[in-house]
Amino acid sequence: MAGGAVSNSTYTSTKDTGAKPGSYLFPFILVTSLFFLWGLAYGLLDVLNKHFQEVLNITTKRSTLLQGAYFGAYFLMALPAGMFMNKFGYKKGIILGLMLYAIGAFLFYPAASALNFDFFLAALFILACGLACLETAANPYVTVLGATETSEQRLNLSQCFNGLGSFLGPIIGGKLFFGAGNGDLTTVQLTYIAIGIIVLLIAGFFYRTPLPEIKEAEQEGKEVMEDTRPLFAHRHFVLGVVAQFFYVAAQVGVGALFINYVTTYWHGISTEKASYLLAVGMALFMGGRFVGTALMRTIAPNVLLAVYAFVNMCLCAFVMTGSGAPSVYALIAVFFFMSIMFPTIFALGVKDLGKNTKRGASFQVMSIVGGASVPYIMGIVTEWQSLAISYGIPTICFFIVFLYGWRGYKRV
């Protein structure tokens, strides 16, 4: 058992094995803390996008390469992370992710000293490789730390803390990066040094804490054992990867150009205030996960996913009109209805994969590469047409998510 787990038995849920619910509580809390860490990294990303435009004098289109480096790392690292965890277990995968996260954060210091945007891209790529390890481990780990029938609710609850990190990121970035007298990258250096130190401390805590290691290959659930199909024979998994690609594309596209949109269409508003509005959106994102987790007690997760996706299609269509403050409010509201999408698609996509759960999780995380391309495409559309029209791309992406919630989730 990796990391000196507290038991030498394998399990998938309290229902399947008879394990006491309390035996999962501390591992659940500890792993849930990781969701906050990558939420904070993501919350800072969109603020950095605008900050680098101003300090390094780069174009909007070029600044979206930050999202390309960040989400491209997920694509390249997800499968190796899954292979690593298949061999060494979830705990060591988490520690590897935390170490890469810290290294990437520390590299922001020399990148800022050199005023080199390419150096920042390399540092962010390493940092995001760490996040890919954390997501590949934490998302499926949470889904199996309890009863199978409540896996979507459990993952949405953990993702609430991801939303908390995403909410605090723009507030921290807006105050430190855009505050008076902060026209350089000194505050960026200090912020990421502090993050790197905190991440190292958490890595040490994980190293010293025993965690149960869940081995899908030895699961006792009858339904899982009888399903011997290869991974890609599971239709709901394949379509889940597709839906996740387009969801993340939409989420990243909405956030990447948010500050640009606000300062363009809400005349007279400052960049700093626009970053605080982004924080409001992230707060709705966080609150939406709590609300969604509660609603899933009475509404099927796929139904809620489809309804939320449809609402976001309508909101993005209005955002495309560029109608001043009302369209900004609509854009902020999009965050609330995005809240449940990633964890719900993830949980629906990896459900009943049995021994293929870790590999399935790797492909789900790889699909996050959707976020690498769409912001750049939106930057091209912005130069060709307008910033408002570029939000037609997330509209299309939400339509794909709607189809998955409507029919694609079904396990056949």
Per the structure, the complete domain to which residue 48 belongs is given by 24-208
Domain-located, residue 16: no
The CATH number covering residue 174 comes to 1.20.1250.20
Who contacts 333 (Cβ-Cβ below 8 Å, separation ≥6)? Answer: 284, 315
- Identify residue 63 by its one-letter amino acid code: S
Q: Are residues 68 and 195 in the same domain?
A: yes
Whole-number pLDDT of residue 6: 26
Residue 190 placed within a domain: yes
Whether 320 and 284 share a structural domain = yes
Residues 260 and 174 in one domain: no
> In this predicted structure, what is the pLDDT of residue 200?
93
- CA 118 distance to own-chain centroid: 23
Same domain, 180 and 277: no
Q: Which residues of the chain are under the pLDDT cut of 50?
A: 1-21, 217-226
Residues 283 and 197 in one domain: no
188 with 274, same domain: the answer is no
- Give yes or no for a contact between 313 and 395, defined as CB atoms under 8 angstroms apart: yes
User: Does residue 236 share a domain with residue 202?
Assistant: no
Q: Are residues 295 and 178 in the same domain?
A: no
Q: Which amino acid is at 386?
A: S
Give the side-chain half-sphere CA count within 13 A for 220.
Answer: 11
Assigned domain for 19 exists? no
End-of-domain residue from the set 192, 208, 224? 208
Report yes or no on 15 lying in a domain.
Answer: no
Angle in degrees, CA 11, 7, 88, rounded to 5: 75
- Global pTM? 0.71
Give the chain's domain count.
Answer: 2
Q: Is 6 inside a domain boundary?
A: no
* Residues 189, 255 share a domain: no
Give the list of residues 6+ apart from residue 108 with CB closer than 8 angstroms, or none: 120, 123, 188, 189, 192, 193
Do 163 and 283 belong to one domain? no
Answer yes or no: do 387 and 284 share one domain.
Answer: yes
Which pLDDT score, from 0 to 100, does residue 181 have? Answer: 53
> Same domain for 168 and 290?
no
